[in-house]
Amino acid sequence: MSDELRPTPDGLMASLTERAKELNCLYHVEEALRQGGATDETFMSLLRAIPPGWQYPDVCEARLTIEGRTLSLSGAEPAGGVLRADVVVQDEKVGVLEVFYTDDRPGEDDGPFLKEEVRLINTIAGLVSHFVLRLRLQDLQKDWEALRQGGGDTGGEIWRSPLHLLRESDRSLYLRIAHKILNYLCQIGVEEAQEMLAAASGVNGVNEEMSGEVNVPADRTAHDPDYLMSDAPFELASRYLSQTEVLTRVQNWMQEDKASSLLRVLNNPRSPLPEIVDAMRRFQHGIPDKRILRSSTLKTLRVSLTQRLLTEQIDFVRVTKENMEIEDFYDLTRRMIIPAGSHGRLGGKSAGMLLAHCILARSADEEHPVGEIKVPKTWYLPSDGLHDFIGHNDLQDVIEQKFREVEEIRQEYPDIVRLFKNSTFPTRVVNGLSVALDDFADVPLIVRSSSLLEDRLGTAFSGKYKSLFVANQGTKAERLEALADAIAEVYASTFGPDPIEYRRERGLLEFNEEMGILIQEVVGRKVGKYFFPAFAGVAFSNSEFRWSPRIQREDGLVRLVPGLGTRAVDRVSDDYPTLLVPGKPNLRANVAVDEVVRYSPHWIDVINLEAGTLETRNLADLVREVGADYPGLEKVFSSLRDGMLGKAPPRVLFDPEKTELVATFDGLAYSTPFIGHLNSMLDILEDKLDTPVDIEFAHDGEDFYLLQCRPQSRSDESAPAPIPKDVETRDIVFTADKYVTNGWVPDITNIVYVDPDAYGELGSREEMQEVARVVGRLNRLLPMKRFILLGPGRWGSRGDVKLGVSVTYADISNTAMLIEIARRKGDYVPDLSFGTHFFQDLVESRIRYLPLYPDEEGIVFNQHFLLGSPNLLAGMLPEFAHLEKVVRVIDVADATEGRLLRVLLNADLGEALAMLVDPTESAAEPAPTPEVTPRLPVQYWQWRLRMAERIAKEIDATRYGVVAIYIFGSTKNATAGPASDIDLLVHTRGDARQSAELLSWLDGWGRCLSEMNFLRTGYRTETLLDVHLVTDEDIANRTSYASKIGAVTDAARELPMGDG
């Protein structure tokens, strides 16, 4: 970072020394006034404290004239010039403070005085003014107390003195209050009050029509201030009301008036954040008990505060209005780093966390206990901090970044990151960060984005912007630099290619992106050189994955991992978070011990404090290393011994070398109230926010910390697909109405249908196992995630192959959907597996699961289509032709003259529908985009095909001995994704040297195309070409890829070659 961050210590020290005397003087003045009462002795102490602050203390004298009397230490007179400052209370001069030298002293800025001394005397006079005001208020208070203790009516007109004070100090407030009391008297039917009001406003009597519906502007009622400024209104009131009531009402109105001054600030769009914060502070101290305010006032304040401080999103405001208190907002402002003149907000992520915490803190009851919920200490940088930063460093050019081509953006992004990291923060922000760091001390921090776009309903930007861990170790200067660096990098991520692409896809590009920043302590414990929480996770109030029919969608789902939550939030291909259902904690996805062990987390993310990095460690190794110091060991781990999982041994008996531990979370689930609490939290939040939610949390072994709460993300998991009602029966392939999840399935080109009847009639176990092998082979041949598997009973059945095809996960890994068919047998419908044999694999790879009950009433199961369409099996796998009756491979386009199969899943309705559609029909809106296959698939194959055609045109056929060149796979099928390669089949008659040269020529292309693809998509591959050379002999024998030429399904297409 720049030098601006590093104040020069020498300079600072010098200026501090200069000011030390002055500050010391001020300190003593304040002490004198704070401790003193309403006596002259207080003022004498004050006078004693003043001379040491002046340049020549020995000959310096102070004199105070106040309320008619003059006080002086020695009575000495000035020898030369005198410094004077008035003491003013509520616009009234009540005294004067003088400082002078009793002996001549040389001239300075102002006579013998320094300009700093002029400032100092003014400051001191200000302090004296406040002191006098305080004394007066104390008197008022005493009257008040006397009134209260005197029992009200008997104490005479005690209301007079405070109201007089008010009238003197704040005319306009006095007027408003006078008006209010008259209005009140009118309400209770005091006619004189009506007259008085009329007199004051110059209208004869109360105009009844005023309260009716009149379509002309009402007369502007001009008050006669002088009339109301008299005691008359209150004298009238004291005739009809008790003394206590008058004073209580006056007090309440005065406090309400403070609320309206806050409202005025909030409602003024020009008032910057510092002013709002200031107004809040006054409000907070002025009205200690908010109950006296009308609930409508409070709601208005909450709405305005939400809009100004958090977010303007309407759904959100609606909820905060009911669930957050003014105190919550006030607490928030105390940890805000506010850039000068800021009008920013904190953004969705901050808002979600705060709101959830407030809701849970207030809504938990005996029926819904949630335990103690903490939120990690957090500092906030409002959303316009980004623009402040950009302006401060003249980086305005980056704003236009978003309108460039994605290739350009990707190319320039590293430079932007570098540029941002080399920029400086405005001093105000740097000072704020410095204060924040003092508050945090040296716990590791996470810098998270909280963009105004983020966490909006339907636009989950989860993971699009950066969150960075900062180890926060070392000297203060080092920590400050690292923190500023991280913030700069998070800022830069706003201009990264992926978020811009994502916004472009959703039409949010023009939205002026502002990015709030949360600086949050990482929840966890320091263990050795590591820092991590006992566990962390993400919980959903609606579960899109169920492994048992006993589990309802509303039972929710939680993904738990040991250590930092990064592994629970993202899907990880080589590891499994532990799944628990908060509503049915006793039902577990994995039951057999080997299943439990296999599908348990094996890796852990931790912060290495020494290296200052985020590390992924092998869990077993880490536990061996840290042993019983692992926080909350017994909550996370079970011990595995002799094929049995049991409680982790007590600390004293724990030997990390000898005990095999498995992260099961059994201790947490069954020996603590955690799951019950979590379930209540999800229930409460879903209820209050009126939408399914997901929350992120972490636990340090002792306490639960809420990290985030937002409407349950629809885009990455699932969104309910609208189910059309006017589909012709002949276009329906199947429907389902049980255990339907929400889910997005790409359009399907192929169906693999294992006919339940034919499978059941197979004569031997070997034949049934062959079916599994056929499925495994098809899994590799068919276009990835573009085919679905339908089969009888339990996919993956291990013991009894008769009950279902005994595939392993590897045999089905590329399918888009796994469908189990339960056909009625007599009066009995068999149980289905719900994919339990590889449930977690399905979850992690987003393979949708659906059970079909074809024999139930109202269900369509188009057996005619499934059995009547041409079967491609024999053509694709001739060696398994004898299983043709059992395994049917349907090319949907071939069977339906170019149509596709679309599967719509809607858990909200509990309905699923698979229908044939024309490829031109756009996907049902609002079809969300799953992370793995972003929309706009068109682009991906189109330019790939163009490039393949280009290659074919450019190829020097004679030189390399090329006969023909073919394209197949995803580019040909128009299904290519961002990471797809281009499958080329080259028929050659060249010799080995020619072939080698050809491959080398193509390799050059492949690498170039790969770079192009990277710039477009961000997917890094070594080469984009997958080239297969085939010879005449291959074609004659139809071996390997040669079989693609003239194949039954997915045949390779010849590309026109140039003249070379």
Partner 1 sequence: MASNGAYNAFEMARAQFDHIADLIGLDEGARAFLRTPQREFHFTIPVHMDDGTVQVFQGFRCQHNDARGPSKGGIRFHPQETIDTVRALSMWMTWKCAVVDIPLGGGKGGVICDPHNLSMREQEQICRGFARQLARNIGPVLDVPAPDVMTNAQHMLWMMDEFEEIQGGHFPGVITGKPVGMGGSLGRTEATGYGVVYTIREALKELNIRPNDTVAGVQGFGNVAQYAIELYTQMGGKVISVSCWDQKDQCAYVFRKMDGIDLPQLQSITDRFGGIDQAKAKDLGYEVLPGDVWIDQDVDILIPSALENSITAENVEKISKRVKIIAEGANGPTTPDADKVIHERGIHVIPDFLANAGGVTCSYFEQVQSNMNYFWEKDEVLGKLDVKMTAAYSAVSELARKQNMYMRDAAYVVSINRVAEACRQRGWI
Residue ranges that bind partner 1, judged by CB under 8 A: 547-550, 573-574, 586-589, 591-593, 597-598, 602, 620, 641-645, 660, 760-769, 793-794, 798-803, 809-810, 813, 830-831, 833-834, 836
Rounded-to-integer distance, Cα 386 and Cα 372, Å: 35
Rounded-to-integer distance, Cα 910 and Cα 552, Å: 11
Rounded-to-integer distance, Cα 1049 and Cα 471, Å: 55
> Nearer to partner 1 by C-beta: 759 or 1005?
759
Least Å from the CB of residue 889 to partner 1? 20
Give the CA distances from residue 344 to residues 269, 277, 520, in Å, rounded to whole numbers and listed in that order.
Answer: 11, 12, 19
- CA 676, distance to chain mean position in Å, is 24
Q: What is the DSSP letter of 398?
A: G
Residue found under tokens 């996907």: 923
Least Å from the CB of residue 845 to partner 1? 10
Rounded-to-integer distance, Cα 164 and Cα 551, Å: 70
Rounded-to-integer distance, Cα 883 and Cα 886, Å: 5
- Cβ atoms of 474 and 441 within 8 Å: the answer is no
DSSP secondary structure letters along 400-447? GGGGS-HHHHHHHHHHHHHHHHTS---HHHHHHHHHHHHHHTTS-EEE
> Nearer to partner 1 by C-beta: 481 or 660?
660
Rounded-to-integer distance, Cα 26 and Cα 121, Å: 10
Q: What is the DSSP letter of 555?
A: G
- Cβ atoms of 519 and 351 within 8 Å: the answer is no
Rounded-to-integer distance, Cα 7 and Cα 120, Å: 26
> Nearer to partner 1 by C-beta: 615 or 831?
831
Rounded-to-integer distance, Cα 669 and Cα 685, Å: 21
Contacts of 607 (CB under 8 A, 6+ apart): 444, 469, 471, 522, 524, 530, 531, 532, 564, 613, 614, 615
Least Å from the CB of residue 635 to partner 1? 17
Rounded-to-integer distance, Cα 804 and Cα 806, Å: 6
- Cβ atoms of 1056 and 1045 within 8 Å: the answer is no
Least Å from the CB of residue 639 to partner 1? 11
Least Å from the CB of residue 641 to partner 1? 6
Least Å from the CB of residue 563 to partner 1? 18
Rounded-to-integer distance, Cα 64 and Cα 84, Å: 10
Least Å from the CB of residue 643 to partner 1? 5
Structure tokens belonging to residue 897:
């003259």
> Nearer to partner 1 by C-beta: 448 or 546?
546
Three-class secondary structure of residue 215 per DSSP: coil
Give the CA distances from residue 656 to residues 621, 628, 646, 666, in Å, rounded to whole numbers and listed in that order.
Answer: 10, 8, 15, 19
Least Å from the CB of residue 754 to partner 1? 15
Least Å from the CB of residue 457 to partner 1? 34
Short-list 538, 546, 457, CA closest to 741: 546
CA dihedral over 194, 195, 199, 200, signed as positive or negative: negative
> Nearer to partner 1 by C-beta: 165 or 784?
784
> Nearer to partner 1 by C-beta: 743 or 793?
793
> Nearer to partner 1 by C-beta: 18 or 757?
757
Q: In which element (H, E) is residue 587 found? A: none
Rounded-to-integer distance, Cα 406 and Cα 413, Å: 10
Least Å from the CB of residue 888 to partner 1? 19
> Nearer to partner 1 by C-beta: 751 or 801?
801
Structure tokens belonging to residue 106:
């040389």
Least Å from the CB of residue 573 to partner 1? 6
> Nearer to partner 1 by C-beta: 360 or 640?
640
> Nearer to partner 1 by C-beta: 320 or 813?
813
Least Å from the CB of residue 739 to partner 1? 12
Least Å from the CB of residue 549 to partner 1? 7
Q: Give the chain's radius of gyration (CA, Å).
A: 38
Rounded-to-integer distance, Cα 771 and Cα 804, Å: 10
Least Å from the CB of residue 836 to partner 1? 5
> Nearer to partner 1 by C-beta: 803 or 883?
803
> Nearer to partner 1 by C-beta: 433 or 768?
768
> Nearer to partner 1 by C-beta: 344 or 585?
585
Least Å from the CB of residue 349 to partner 1? 32
- Cβ atoms of 663 and 636 within 8 Å: the answer is yes
Give the 3-state secondary structure of 357-387: HHHHHHHCCCCCCCCCEECCCEEEECCCHHH
Least Å from the CB of residue 653 to partner 1? 14
First to last CA, the chain: 56
Least Å from the CB of residue 780 to partner 1? 10
Residues paired with 519 in a beta bridge: 379, 447
Q: What is the DSSP letter of 336?
A: B
> Nearer to partner 1 by C-beta: 210 or 810?
810
> Nearer to partner 1 by C-beta: 144 or 809?
809
- Cβ atoms of 460 and 710 within 8 Å: the answer is yes
> Nearer to partner 1 by C-beta: 768 or 889?
768
> Nearer to partner 1 by C-beta: 836 or 988?
836
> Nearer to partner 1 by C-beta: 489 or 570?
570
Least Å from the CB of residue 797 to partner 1? 8
- How many of the other CB atoms lie within 10 Å of CB of 45? 17
- Backbone φ and ψ for 375, nearest 5 degrees, come out as -120, 145
Q: Are strands 704-711 and 787-792 parallel, antiparallel or unpaired?
A: unpaired
CA dihedral over 865, 866, 867, 872, signed as positive or negative: positive
